[in-house]
Structures are given as C-alpha cells and as structure tokens.
C-alpha cells in the first residue's frame, strides 16, 4: 500500500506539498558573522521550521562542514556566503526570496 501525505492526502509520489512549501517561503537571508574566538559562521534564516533539519543536513553534506539548526536558524561553520545562493536554488528554493548579505 503506497504512503499517503498527511498534509494533502495524496499518494507520496503525487504529493507536491514540499514544492509548494518552498515556493511560498518567506524571505531567506544568508550572512556570515564572527562567533567565539573570531571564527566565521554562515547563518541562514527564514527557512520553514518543518524543513529546517532536513535543509541543514543537506547543506552540511554539500558544503562538507559542521553546523546546527536551532531557533529557526541554520548555523554552518565557515564562511559559505558565496556558494549559498546557488546551493539553495539547487535545493528548490526560489532565487527571488534569497538575499545574501556581507559579514555582520
């Protein structure tokens, strides 16, 4: 028996909830900041809380770095701001809602 999506009630193969969630995403902001011992980290805010852990896992894997997802933020070790927009677009987020800022 095929799996059924909890949100829309369709079969998982036909479900488009994940795509719709990404399209309706609010503004995603990416910036780098210095933390403890002047180490740079990349912070991504604005990703839906339902997708936060999965997105963090994918980003850590693609960027080969450590990080965490907490309080609605994804914090990655190192400065990855130059690569982040292309990676988020490849993950399915629309380019119009992604803004990459400099260091804070």
How do residues 70-92 score in pLDDT, each as one tens digit?
998 999 999 999 999 999 999 88
How do residues 35-83 score in pLDDT, each as one tens digit?
888 899 999 999 888 889 999 999 999 999 999 999 989 999 999 999 9
CA 51 to chain centre: 7
What CATH number does the domain located at 26-103 have?
Answer: 3.30.780.10
Residue 40 phi, psi dihedral angles, 5° rounding? -85, 140
């Amino acid at each position: 028996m095929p799996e059924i999506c909890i949100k829309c009630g369709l079969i998982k193969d036909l479900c488009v909830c994940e795509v719709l969630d990404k399209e309706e995403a609010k503004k995603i902001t990416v910036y780098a900041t210095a933390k403890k011992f002047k180490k740079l980290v990349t912070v991504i805010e604005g990703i839906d809380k339902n997708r936060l852990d999965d997105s963090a896992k994918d980003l850590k894997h693609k960027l080969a770095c450590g990080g965490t997802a907490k309080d609605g933020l994804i914090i990655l070790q190192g400065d990855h701001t130059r690569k982040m927009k292309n990676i988020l677009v490849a993950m399915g987020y629309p380019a119009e809602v992604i803004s990459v800022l400099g260091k804070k």
